[in-house]
Chain A
């Protein structure tokens, strides 16, 4: 694993990134979307990279967070904190239910059921009038996080950006802590050697369920902020676009790299925002990136970069273990 850079360097980098959209001339919209979707991708990252299972239901957690926010804000007039709690709760409950159902399933059957759950969730969102049906929920008020005397509102992308940035920092910290935690270590063990894990007294099913449920709040929190950013929530959240985007973000740069999903999301959204060729070609590029990252570039872009560097430089013994990418 890459060693964590000195706290000071991290602080400087964080400040630079925070100020970057302003310097670039008001790109707050793109940066906010990148941060939000990266947070959603980190939820999936934990399951794919650490647990070694491919969940295709993280768009459901993402959409559940967005829908809970939209419904609470428009129907009940709830403020930002209440909708955040509602979004997290919605994500957690759905993950718990799905996690219990899929407890005994592994590999492709697990993915199959999670994918089926996504398609069914989309059908429900399209047809259930309580959720707004095909029209979705529009007219979501602006985000208001005021608490007591403190006034905190975000009416546009420039004001949402600090919140998205903060959410991203919190997510990065949480993912880093997770990977250093006991649960994170157990997840890796369950991933790489389930038999050894069982022999070591680890309850494999319990770890799997815990990690799966733990991953949901990330995606749900992203959905929460996304609902405010778009001011609209609809069944389009279940489209494969978000699913493929999250998967690409997770695998493009290299699995189990702390900044991988963030960079991956930035590359994809950056291409769509600043180098767009229209929706259809963008879809081909996104799908193609996913295919190339996995089929042609083992270890993702990070692995490619390392191999190029290793070829140029005289061979230095790499102390790095590459087991994590060889899932």
Chain B
């Protein structure tokens, strides 16, 4: 394994991580909500993509849309169940409820898609490119491009636009926002629908790299935590950079130290950051 190959792997992995975490970034930074069922939505969306391609015979781009639709649906159902807790800003209860949803989704996936590991083969993964002696597939390039597009869209849409201002006002003070004539529950639903769609998009693009099982999703959750915390909670550009950095770190660690402990090493990074600058992690509503 040469260094260039690992660096390129890291860049691809980093964009995948950033894309996986983008839903959480918005959820937390914009609406001050959390979702511990994130990994299970990833898992379920990966299965839906596989099913749309292998079962329904849809072309891959359409399958991605189907998966995103499923993600939106899951997000809306979750938010509908938690609306009362959301209005109370009861983060502790929201955390536990989303964990419960995660467990349910695992059961549903087992019931619907069975316990067999599935491999999703996309047309893009057959196309190879050689860059400086290292190999990448078109699938990898798609991950990078979609990730950059998603972050650019968010950066200009949320941190600059009126939409983001509305959402941040809701996060800052839901009651005041309601008085100002904002339909608060619609904002909450929109944010959760976005979370579902974003993680489904990430799953549809990233999951073809690995076998799809009902037990996947945990690594993705840890990665998301690290990206969100490292990037400065709720910061869009921070999350992108954190995802990229973590991807390169994981690829180098996996390539040169131990692939089995890559997640553990990512957790180690999280701990170091938390111990070094705990004050930077105070939860600020509305991001920055």
Contacts and interface: CB of A to CB of B under 8 A. Distances in A.
B264 A120 contact: yes
Contact of B107 (A105, A243, A280, A295): A280
Contacts of B84: 295
Contacts, number: 138
B104 interface: yes
A283 B110 contact: yes
B62 to A, nearest CB: 28
B107 to A, nearest CB: 3
B129 interface: no
Contacts of B105: 287
Contacts of B106: 240, 283, 287
Contacts of A117: 267
B149 interface: no
B111 interface: yes
B127 to A, nearest CB: 33
A15 interface: no
Nearest to B278: A104
B225 interface: yes
B100 A287 contact: yes
B85 interface: yes
Contacts of B102: 240, 287
A54 interface: yes
Interface stretch (A81-89, A106-114, A217-225): A106-114
Contact of A127 (B85, B107, B261, B271): B261
Given A112-B229, A287-B103, A288-B104, A251 B264 contact: no
18 contacts: A54-B92, A101-B274, A104-B274, A108-B34, A109-B283, A113-B270, A113-B271, A113-B274, A119-B221, A120-B264, A127-B260, A280-B107, A280-B108, A282-B107, A283-B107, A289-B100, A290-B99, A327-B90
Given A109-B274, A119-B263, 15 more contacts: A56-B99, A107-B92, A109-B229, A111-B95, A113-B274, A116-B222, A122-B218, A244-B103, A251-B96, A279-B110, A280-B110, A287-B101, A294-B96, A294-B97, A327-B90
B101 A107 contact: no
A197 to B, nearest CB: 18
Secondary structure class of chain A's binding surface, majority of residues: helix
Nearest to B80: A295
Give the bracket for the number of chain A residues in contact with chain B: 35 or more
Contacts of A283: 103-104, 106-107, 110
B152 interface: no
Nearest to A295: B81
A284 B278 contact: no
Interface of B: 34, 36, 81-82, 84-85, 90-93, 95-97, 99-108, 110-111, 218-219, 221-222, 225-226, 229, 260-261, 263-264, 267, 270-271, 274-275, 278-279, 281, 283
A178 B103 CA distance: 32
B221 A115 contact: yes
Interface string A186-216: 0000000000000000000000000000000
A248 B100 CA distance: 8
A60 interface: no
Interface in A112-169: 112-113, 115-117, 119-120, 122-124, 126-127
A290 B100 contact: yes
A54 B227 CA distance: 21
B96 A123 contact: no
B246 to A, nearest CB: 13
Most buried by B among A52, A109, A124: A109
A276 B102 CA distance: 20
Nearest to B78: A291
A310 interface: no
A280 B111 contact: yes
A295 B36 contact: no
Contact of A295 (B97, B260, B261, B270): B97
